[in-house]
Amino acid sequence: MRAALALAAFSSLAHVQPGLAQEQTAAGDNTMPTSAEIGSRPGYLVDQLEDGELKTQLSACLGQPMEANDWSIGHRGAPLQFPEHTRESYVAAARQGAGIIECDVAFTKDRELVCRHAQCDLHTTTDILTRPELAAKCTTPFAAATGSGEGEEAQAKCCTSDLTLAEFQTLSAKMDSFDPAAETAEDYQDGLAEWRTTLYSPGTLMTHAESIELIKSLGRKFTPELKGPEVEMPYEGEYSQADYARQMIQDYIDAGVPPSDVYPQSFNLEDVKFWIAEFPEFGQQAVFLDDRYETLEGFDPMQPDTFEPTMQSLADDGVQIIAPPLWMLVTTENGETVPSPYAEAAKEAGLDIIAWSLERSGPLTEGGGWYYQSIADVTSSDADVLKLLDVFANDIGVRGVFSDWPATTTFFANCVQSGGNEAKAN
């Protein structure tokens, strides 16, 4: 039964054929390999698993050839080690076999689209604060921390809409971090989590159009996310939310990208409905990013009667794909991770599911933090990411999984598809 479910989970996701990726990329003199390079991390995770069927199944896949797969989605590229939403991060994600790669889309002062996780994150993801002429343009210029204890933390807020595209393109990307106790702009750049690295910094920032050309050259598909504006809309009284949502899709049309290769996303349900109505070929793969845990009072993924709108209402409105955080899809039962009522309700309504985001939590030895909150009592090892993927693939049948290190999801997808589950069933 589990083998059949696993095959169903992947049946609509053909392997990406990476032959196109043999073309030389603009990242340098390297060429994209024709197979995925998963490195040592998947083996490290498998080694930590306790003996049992899952470890036996996954161990048999170690050392086997791997291919890119749409089930493996590069969340901001590969930001576990590479500065997010950079050329280097996207190339790393493609090399690790992500079949789909994400550009979070924000707009500049002159209304050009660029890849940033938030409209106002330049102070933590770029070197803007060490560039006085540009730092002066920030919405909130840097202010040093004052004292300790009850003192004020360091402050800054720098937005893509503070800069023109030309100014944005002069910045360098860094790993997302800041030091709230900083007394200088240079020190504010620090604060990196100890399990991340600056080894692959700085990174090259990208416009949305540049990301399309790069990802297309790598032979991968696209999942742009229209980020919520942090300025009043219509921007400058003219640029509406619809203009913004339309511009993002138009970039793919202008680049000649087939709608079937694009999975546009938004936390704003109205954006998704807009795409369904105005760009139906793109809208049928539009992804509703579900943050109702934060925006809907009383919402509980374990209580379907708190869902508003209901899963069926979403489906009736034309939504076909829903994407919640990892923890909303699972709960525990008798000490085991099992599908949550949220996951069951989504499947019952015929919605496809994409989960986010694996490999974002750092070491899982203390329960995994926010992303694992519903299964903290059974999360104590990094290897538990593999157990979670097993539930996603075999018990829920998710369409794909975002990961900050796509090698992990690529490995799992290849292993499940390669026949490992038939062996497991026997």
In terms of domains, do 369 and 221 share one? yes
Q: Provide the β-strand partners of residue 140.
A: 157
Enclosing H/E stretch for 322: strand 321-323
SS3 content of the chain, % helix, strand, coil (to 5): 40, 15, 45
321 lies in some domain: yes
In terms of domains, do 37 and 60 share one? yes
213 lies in some domain: yes
In terms of domains, do 146 and 290 share one? no
Q: What is the pLDDT of residue 33?
A: 54
In terms of domains, do 213 and 354 share one? yes
Q: What is the pLDDT of residue 417?
A: 66
Report d(CA 271, CA 285) in Å as an integer: 13
Report d(CA 138, CA 159) in Å as an integer: 7
User: Which amino acid is located at 57 in the chain?
Assistant: Q
The number of folded domains in the chain is 2
What CATH number is associated with residue 222?
3.20.20.190
136 lies in some domain: yes
Q: Please tell me the pTM assigned to this model.
A: 0.91
Q: What is the pLDDT of residue 10?
A: 46
- Range of the structural domain that residue 127 is part of: 119-197
In terms of domains, do 219 and 172 share one? no
In terms of domains, do 169 and 128 share one? yes
Q: What is the pLDDT of residue 20?
A: 28
DSSP letter string over 330-372?
A: EEEETTEEEE-HHHHHHHHTT-EEEEEEET-S---TT--GGGG
In terms of domains, do 61 and 131 share one? no
Report d(CA 258, CA 150) in Å as an integer: 55
172 lies in some domain: yes
Where is the domain boundary, 180, 197, 214?
Answer: 197
332 lies in some domain: yes
113 lies in some domain: no
In terms of domains, do 71 and 157 share one? no
In terms of domains, do 99 and 231 share one? yes
In terms of domains, do 44 and 144 share one? no
Q: What is the pLDDT of residue 416?
A: 87
Report d(CA 12, CA 410) in Å as an integer: 16
Q: What is the pLDDT of residue 2?
A: 43
Low-confidence ranges of the chain (pLDDT < 50): 1-31, 419-426
112 lies in some domain: no
- Cβ burial 210-237 (10 Å sphere, 16+ → b, else e): bbbebbbbbbbbbbbbbbebbbeeebee
In terms of domains, do 181 and 43 share one? no
Where is the domain boundary, 165, 197, 229?
Answer: 197
Where is the domain boundary, 168, 197, 226?
Answer: 197
Q: What is the pLDDT of residue 345?
A: 98
Q: What is the pLDDT of residue 34?
A: 59
109 lies in some domain: no
In terms of domains, do 81 and 133 share one? no
User: Which amino acid is located at 364 in the chain?
Assistant: L
